[in-house]
Amino acid sequence: MRHLTDKLWAIHTNEYDYAQFKQVENTTDEVKKKYREIFESTIYKTRHPVVHLHAETGKRHLLLGGFAGRVEGYTTSESERLLSIFDSYVTRLENTVRWQWNEGDVAIWDNLATQHYAIADYEDQHRVVRRVTVGKEVPVNTINESSRLLNKK
């Protein structure tokens, strides 16, 4: 599996909204519409290696997540099965962290080495999220081939 995965490329896109406000029951149609307009205002498609080498540590990581739409060179159903296999590995209990929030907590993670899924279990509690992207490292695979933008609409 490792030999196969090292050679795979996934096409990532924001052409669909993977969250779709499923977690927030009281979100109005107007808020949903505004979110979709912003989220979908520029459509990106990017070719990323499924396995990339971390720029600082040199360790291998799966580069997947909600925007990985298909695996290049495979049919839709084959892509879905492959992505499902990889996702089942990433989401195994021993590969996850479930943060128990306390007032004043700040969580920071490395998006080049982890995946993030926010569970909307904070009910009516105030939550502030700030996303910061640090650095300009372009992901590379195990033979130093880089990700590349396929198109931007």
What confidence tier does 16 reach under pLDDT thresholds 50, 70, 90?
A: low
| Cα-to-chain-centroid distance, residue 96 | 15
- What is the set of domains in the chain, with CATH numbers? 2-152 (3.60.130.10)
Q: What is residue 18's predicted lDDT score, i.e. its pLDDT?
A: 47
pTM of structure: 0.77
Q: Give the pLDDT confidence of 88-119 residue by residue, as tens digits.
A: 998 899 988 888 888 888 888 887 788 877 77
Beta strands of the chain (E only): which ranges?
9-13, 44-49, 51-53, 60-62, 68-71, 148-152
Q: Does residue 66 contact residue 18 with C-beta atoms inside 8 Å?
A: yes
**Encoded amino acid at 15, one letter:** E
For 10, phi then psi, to 5°, come to -115, 145
3-state secondary structure of 140: strand
Residues 41-90 pLDDT 10s = 788 899 999 999 998 899 999 999 888 999 999 999 999 999 999 999 98
Q: Which of 82, 77, 95, 61 is nearest to 10 (CA)?
A: 82
